[in-house]
Chain A
């Protein structure tokens, strides 16, 4: 039934193709949408590399990953697409943007790499891309059977698999008795992992206690200095108003 949602999504990009004069019935909307999302994902991924401003990099990354979620939807992995939008784009990247904004003091908004580094990275990147593309193009036997033949909602089998029960093709076809296992154990491991990470991240990022002497001690010692000396001179280390300092301390310890 992913079919209908795709077709309805395809309505959004219909106008430009109408202008091109192609017969509408001949157009494969799945391909058109794929082209749209694929080019968005690739262009913004390259944008992340080329941008120097870290906030813009974050924005491009958001767009790129959101377009990737669109690609997941087009591949029939609706649940993964929704999770990509929800966890990745809506959670992880918000955290990342938050981190960017917390650290984006003026000198760090754009730290530029040197020209030599750029050239080297470009060389290495393009050679890697050539290798990967060669590998990708060698898998050309996989072709689509036509959209209407496949109408399998993915959320239910996926949920069943995570509960340790396989209801989809490979496992259900195992009439030989070798039943494929689900993913209950990995699921549990991941949940424990997330808990550990939650605690660990909170521990790492917690507000540090001050190493410097507490303001109230400084104020007290300063006062004693004044008392001990015969000359009337306020030491520079004395906070302007001890009232505010002691208030901070007692407020913090409360």
Chain B
């Protein structure tokens, strides 16, 4: 091998990085189009459907729209307001984009390739940039918690009250929802016995039971918390166009705004990836994908396709939710995190631990099939009990507006003020 060529292992990693980054950027661009289409469909109007191939009449259902949008936003004037903190203002979008891209180093985007038999390259090649990372879930979790800096510093650097409010709101929200997110994740890690995301998928494929069935409560908690982490409606308080103009990116425009928007979509894609990988079985589908590591090309492609289809479905659900639920108020958001999601997450964790602890004994006593059904039934019972308890214990609508006390003093004072004004008026006459 030539000295000037990197090793096959490095080359494979580079190819994966290139595919992933290119794919993600394209996906983010087309998700904008998809979001606009879905919005149009929900609101019963025509979405963007004109832009196709430039200089022709071919419109291709508007598939050229992302190109036009991107070109427009890149060619816009690169305007930096005068009152901002220059260093922080420029660093914030870079931090958030770098963090949300680096997450994907540990996220598998398929299963494995069939043996390639290239010398120097260990087979099978996994669809994963950093296959050796022993702490995949922690890596994802850690980097998604770094994204808060972009928002916080962007809001601060803008030197704008809407931006600052958005930044503070979002940091409080992201920090609060990291806890239920982590609790939902811990249940899966406990059941799968590994911190690697590909091992988690393999565990689901081997047993054939997706974790959304075995841990419904964890799935619920994780799903809601990942909505909040991705700052999607009904948890989009960081931006809240109607209240905060645009939140932390009020003062941003042009390419820097593009970075913020892209990283928002990347967060949504990450959330969809995590939901699918950890709770919806990843690339597994009963009967057609197989479950072993020895696979054919057809199976490899099928697994990739199924994973992508599931992710797309979750993303479409994200977008439908946007037009279905109104935004939470901030105190409701915090109540949900600390008073509902946190106890439910803990209940899920305890249930999973108990099920995993007693499963071998029940398998011995009752047989594998019965024990397996029991391991699914118990969490579902806990799920419904927890749901009902949460519904009873936490009021569905809280009202924290200052209550106008109708005390007699108030009325008397009103009368007295009126009388005083009368007397004064009489004096001037």
**Direct chain A–B contact by Cβ atoms under 8 Å:** yes
B9: which A residues are within 8 A, CB to CB? Answer: 4, 7
Interface positions of B (Cβ within 8 A of A): 1, 3-7, 9-10, 13-14, 16-17, 85, 87-88, 91, 105, 129-135, 138-139, 141-143, 145-146, 148-149, 152-153, 156, 164, 167-168, 171, 175, 178, 195, 400-405, 407, 409-410, 412-413, 416, 420, 423-424
Which residue of B17, B134, B148, B404 is within 8 Å of A90 (Cβ)?
B148
Using a Cβ cutoff of 8 Å, how many contacts connect chains A and B?
Answer: 165
Nearest B residue to A90, CB-CB: B145
CB nearest neighbor in B for A227: B416
Residues of A contacting B400 in the complex (Cβ-Cβ under 8 angstroms): 251
The 14 listed contacts between A and B (C-beta, < 8 Å) are A5-B131, A8-B105, A10-B10, A14-B14, A23-B4, A24-B3, A25-B3, A56-B85, A62-B149, A89-B146, A94-B148, A101-B167, A216-B409, A243-B404
CA distance A234 to B178 in the complex (A): 53
Identity of the chain B residue whose Cβ is nearest the Cβ of A93 in the assembled complex: B149
A4 touches B3 (CB 8 A): no
Please determine whether A234 and B420 come into contact, CB atoms closer than 8 angstroms. Answer: yes
A223 touches B142 (CB 8 A): no
A24–B14 alpha-carbon span in the complex (Å): 14
- Which of the candidate stretches A32-40, A75-83, A196-204 sits at the interface with the other chain? A75-83
Does A179 touch B at the CB level, under 8 Å? no
* Candidates B4, B139, B171, B410; contact of A98 at CB < 8 Å: B171
Verify A86–B16 contact, CB threshold 8 A. Answer: no
Which of B5, B105, B156 interacts with A55 by CB under 8 Å?
B156
A55 and B13 contact, CB distance less than 8 A: no
**Known pairs A82-B139, A86-B138; A25 contacts B1 (CB<8 A):** yes
Using a CB-CB cutoff of 8 Å, which residues 205-254 of chain A contact chain B? 216, 219-220, 223, 226, 232, 234, 242-244, 246-251, 254
Residues of B within 8 A of A56 (CB): 85, 87-88
CA distance A2 to B105 in the complex (A): 13
**Besides the known contacts A244-B402, A250-B405, 6 further A-B residue pairs in the complex with CB atoms under 8 A apart:** A8-B105, A11-B13, A12-B17, A25-B7, A85-B145, A246-B405
- Tell whether, in the assembled complex, residue A78 and residue B134 are in contact, meaning their CB atoms are under 8 Å apart: yes
Residue of A24, A53, A94 ringed by the most chain B CB atoms within 10 A: A94
Please tell me if the beta carbons of A247 and B3 are within 8 angstroms of each other in the complex. Answer: no
Contact of B130 with A4 in the complex, beta carbons under 8 Å: yes
In Å, the complex CA distance between A216 and B410 comes to 10
Residue of A8, A9, A79, A216 with highest tally of chain B CB at under 10 A: A8
A97 in the interface (beta carbon within 8 A): yes
Q: Which residue, of A56, A86, A91, A156, has the highest number of chain B Cβ atoms within 10 A?
A: A86
